[in-house]
Structure 1
């Protein structure tokens, strides 16, 4: 007998389509992880289409029993957007030629993510930047949703806690009371991270993200690792843009090579 069809949630899918950026949280080992994503909705439901430069992230995500897609960033979001946490079961599909992505998801990405337009907004650009189209598609089977506040102020952060009962997320205003790392023999609390971010609108060229990592005891984050910088990165100059482009190309090619994907030669 064929498998039962996956239950679709129209409200969740509408909110994901309306979002510009989201955060996906999951637990790897005994630590919570978080990664910035563009949530898409394909023919089979919600999906994250990560380039091969992020192959490690995609495979770590897919190995988790559940992930939490957090919609808390309202910048540029459409009318159907709503703040929420979407709990889902991930499934990885590798698309090393980029055929599935180009046919079903590329147009959606181009409409919502201006940086991708510089790489794939025409047939000529797609031919030149062929390494941008291959994707690791993390399909999401929605299990349920949980309430989550929107981040509307610079002093609001996303707290992600990886406890024994799964990954949880909430938005906290200003930094919570931050204490020192627990001493020898102290219980310490659950592994946690605190995420801050800022995006440049409307070009979305810059996406600043910074995290504090430590343990959450229910009222304080006991910091073990603090960010070196916070806030929006400076506007890159011409040389910095060129270097960033070449670094992205090398990372995508390396990820494809590691997966046994195509190796093409374009240009010098």
Structure 2
């Protein structure tokens, strides 16, 4: 087993990165799972709109960079290669292959599918968009570990037919962000599209898992911002009961919509 695959097996959270057909880099925080010894991501269908461009991407990066998912002396790892994206609308992969892993790594799933009764009630949580990395094409690289979730971000940029991955510290605000590579390297941005991505989560329950990203163009060590998503200052405290129920309904509706769209596409 490679060093990266070993890190992926142990990690609680990880990052999936790719380049959209329009050239915009995208990153997504994911739960790292393993099938037949190889890295897999099994996304609920609420993520279907976000990952639609991944199906057309030539390559993607599976990354483990959060220090909370790494051993004390372990560096971050990335594997970049071709991926296969498939629809598992009957939920067989989750139930038959990775349910135990998901319940251990992502505790919120316990309230949804930790018994046959819950699995019948929350059937929409079982179907998944499955992303598999082709090990024959994967190139492994070391990346610095992110020890400060708010200040240390993943920099994903268009490197031709694949995403380029760096870990940076972000300074400044507004429409221009100053980026410093954690390994001390010059970023040497050449005007290609880039995304700076980060996330944080509540421990140990992962009830709150918030992501944020800034999109733009990288010139040298400066990102000229064109768009933002999420808020790195958002509180990670417990949700009030009404907000928790509302979030559950939103998640259910998002998954149901994604599943229905996948079923329609399959029968065309």
Please give the TM-score of this superposition, normalised by the length of structure 1.
0.84
C-alpha distance in 1 between matches for 2:115 and 2:32? 22
C-alpha distance in 2 between matches for 1:249 and 1:216? 37
Task: State the superposition RMSD in angstroms.
Answer: 2.5
Match of 2:146 in 1: 151
Aligned residues: 248
Judge which range, 82-91 or 72-81, deviates more.
72-81
CA contact under 8 A between 2:175 and 2:226: conserved in structure 1? no
Report how far residue 176 of structure 1 moved: 7.0
Match of 1:246 in 2: 249
Q: Aligned to 2:3, what secondary structure does the other structure show?
A: helix
Unaligned runs of 5+ in 2: 178-188
Report how far residue 239 of structure 1 moved: 0.3
Match of 1:93 in 2: 86
Unaligned runs of 5+ in 1: 1-8, 182-186, 262-268
Judge which range, 199-208 or 55-64, deviates more.
55-64
Match of 2:259 in 1: 256
Q: Deviation digits for residues 165-198 of structure 1, max 9, x if unmatched?
A: 63111111232798659xxxxx971101112221
Segments of 4+ moved more than 4 angstroms: 76-82, 176-181
C-alpha spacing 1:127/1:158, structure 2 compared with 1 (3 Å)? same
C-alpha distance in 2 between matches for 1:216 and 1:193? 9
The reply to whether residue 27 of structure 1 matches residue 22 of structure 2 is no
C-alpha distance in 1 between matches for 2:5 and 2:28? 20
Please give the TM-score of this superposition, normalised by the length of structure 2.
0.84
Q: Deviation digits for residues 37-83 of structure 1, max 9, x if unmatched?
A: 11111126211101111223344223211001221112255689651
Report how far residue 133 of structure 1 moved: 0.6
The reply to whether residue 134 of structure 1 matches residue 127 of structure 2 is yes
What is the 5 A alignment of 1:141-180?
Answer: 141-142=134-135, 143-153=138-148, 154-164=150-160, 166-175=162-171, 180=176
Q: Aligned to 1:26, what secondary structure does the other structure show?
A: strand
C-alpha distance in 2 between matches for 1:76 and 1:246? 30
Q: Aligned to 1:196, what secondary structure does the other structure show?
A: strand
The reply to whether residue 120 of structure 1 matches residue 113 of structure 2 is yes
C-alpha distance in 1 between matches for 2:170 and 2:259? 41
Which one of the candidate residues 197, 200, 203 is aligned to 2:202? 200
CA contact under 8 A between 1:25 and 1:33: conserved in structure 2? yes
C-alpha spacing 1:44/1:156, structure 2 compared with 1 (3 Å)? closer
Q: Deviation digits for residues 119-162 of structure 1, max 9, x if unmatched?
A: 11111111111111111111111311112111112321111111
Q: Aligned to 2:220, what secondary structure does the other structure show?
A: coil
